[in-house]
């Protein structure tokens, strides 16, 4: 009985691992590495890479800049309606990306909620790079928000109180104490959000379209290429796997780096 249980555990683990790793391995086994690199030289890929890098960087920058202080407020303050806000913030997490795209169109599209106002200002968002930025920011921000709120909640409030009794105004308390102490969690949340943003597909294709060199990001290029030029699609996919793996490894190594830095300061000679 016991052996049977142990065997079924081992089998389940093996099946799960094989199922998750086989498709990933297949990408690298299907095409020789040289061809993979060659596929990246293709002009469609280059354009998509540039669009992805640019839109992701801008979207991620905006998310970090806005969501970090907002997460600090939501983590440290207790007020009525806080629970509702925390739930609403996570809503994009459970929405299908296509729904997010429709929602963005409904808000910023020509016939949308803000359409007339934006029109009057001469601004048109859908099917521009700005639309890609909005779609990426919309989809990735809850990932960052969740992690950032948890990171700020984990900071011992007494330390913030101590900083204030030492004469630090709230802005200095945030910059010198809360931010550095939450840095680990913020970094992890940021990496996760970045990865999600780079992979964004559904909201972008609906809200921004797939125009090569303008709104066609890497995931959209994979979709556009897989029927015409499967090798290019494979090459881009391989790139994603490498970038994703690097982000994950960086996340796992981060605590170790922190530990190493503590260790270094311990053995440093006191002069």
Partner 1 sequence: MVPLRIDLSLPRRSFDLELRLEVGAETLALVGPSGSGKTSLLRAVAGLARPSRGSVVCGEDAWFDSARRVDRRPEERSVGYVFQEYALFPHLTVAQNVTFGGGRVDGLLHRLRIEHLERAKPGELSGGERQRVAIARALARRPRVLLLDEPMAALDPHTRGTVRAELHDLLRELALPALLVTHDFEDAAALADRVGVLADGRLRQLGTAADLLGAPADPFVARLAGANVLPGVAARAPNGLTAVLLDAGPTVYAADVASGRTEVVVYPWDVSLAREAPDDSALNHIHDEIVSLTPLGNRARVRLRTLTAEVTMPSAERLQLRPGEAVVASFKATQVRLLGSG
For partner 1, the binding residues (CB under 8 A) are: 156, 158-159, 161-169, 176-177, 180-181, 262, 265-266, 268, 270
Cα–Cα dist 121/117, whole Å? 7
The distance of closest approach from Cβ of residue 265 to partner 1 in the complex, given in angstroms and rounded to an integer, is 6
CB atoms within 10 A of CB 206: 20
Output 228 or 265, the one with its CB closest to partner 1: 265
Cα–Cα dist 2/4, whole Å? 5
3-state secondary structure of 145: helix
- DSSP character string of 142-162: HHHHHHHHHHHHTS-HHHHHH
The distance of closest approach from Cβ of residue 76 to partner 1 in the complex, given in angstroms and rounded to an integer, is 13
> Can you tell me which residue has the tokens 């999600």?
196
The distance of closest approach from Cβ of residue 250 to partner 1 in the complex, given in angstroms and rounded to an integer, is 20
- DSSP character string of 207-240: HT---TTTT--HHHHHHHHTTT-HHHHHHHHHHH
Output 125 or 177, the one with its CB closest to partner 1: 177
Output 228 or 270, the one with its CB closest to partner 1: 270
Query: Maximum CA pair distance of the chain?
Result: 74
Output 61 or 180, the one with its CB closest to partner 1: 180
Output 99 or 168, the one with its CB closest to partner 1: 168
3-state secondary structure of 25: helix
Tokens of 143: 């990932």
Output 119 or 156, the one with its CB closest to partner 1: 156
The distance of closest approach from Cβ of residue 164 to partner 1 in the complex, given in angstroms and rounded to an integer, is 4
Cα–Cα dist 137/132, whole Å? 8
- By the 10 Å C-beta count (0-12 exposed, 13-18 middle, 19+ buried), 169 is classed as exposed
The distance of closest approach from Cβ of residue 157 to partner 1 in the complex, given in angstroms and rounded to an integer, is 10
The distance of closest approach from Cβ of residue 69 to partner 1 in the complex, given in angstroms and rounded to an integer, is 19
Output 160 or 203, the one with its CB closest to partner 1: 160
The distance of closest approach from Cβ of residue 160 to partner 1 in the complex, given in angstroms and rounded to an integer, is 9
């Amino acid at each position: 009985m016991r052996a049977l249980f142990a065997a079924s555990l081992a089998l389940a683990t093996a099946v799960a691992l094989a199922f998750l790793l086989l498709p990933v391995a297949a990408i690298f086994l299907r095409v020789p590495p040289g061809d993979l690199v060659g596929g990246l030289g293709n002009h469609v890929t280059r354009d998509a890479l540039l669009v992805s890098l640019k839109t992701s960087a801008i979207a991620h920058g905006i998310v970090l800049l806005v969501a970090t202080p907002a997460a600090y407020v939501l983590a440290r303050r207790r007020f009525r309606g806080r629970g509702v806000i925390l739930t609403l913030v996570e809503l994009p997490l459970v929405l299908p990306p296509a729904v997010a795209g429709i929602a963005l169109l409904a808000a910023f599209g020509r016939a949308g909620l803000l359409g007339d106002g934006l029109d009057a200002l001469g601004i048109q968002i859908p099917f521009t790079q700005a639309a890609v930025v909005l779609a990426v920011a919309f989809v990735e921000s809850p990932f960052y928000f969740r992690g950032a709120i948890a990171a700020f909640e984990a900071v011992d409030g007494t330390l913030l109180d101590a900083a204030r009794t030492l004469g630090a105004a709230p802005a200095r308390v945030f910059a010198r104490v809360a931010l550095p102490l939450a840095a680990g969690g913020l970094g992890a949340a940021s990496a996760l959000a970045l990865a999600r943003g780079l992979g964004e597909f559904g909201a972008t294709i609906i809200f921004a379209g797939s125009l090569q060199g303008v709104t066609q990001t890497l995931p959209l290029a994979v979709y556009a290429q897989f029927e015409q030029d499967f090798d290019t699609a494979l090459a881009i996919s391989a790139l994603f796997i490498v970038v994703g793996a690097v982000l994950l490894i960086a996340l796992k190594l981060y605590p170790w780096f922190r530990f190493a830095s503590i260790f270094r300061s311990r053995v440093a000679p006191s002069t």
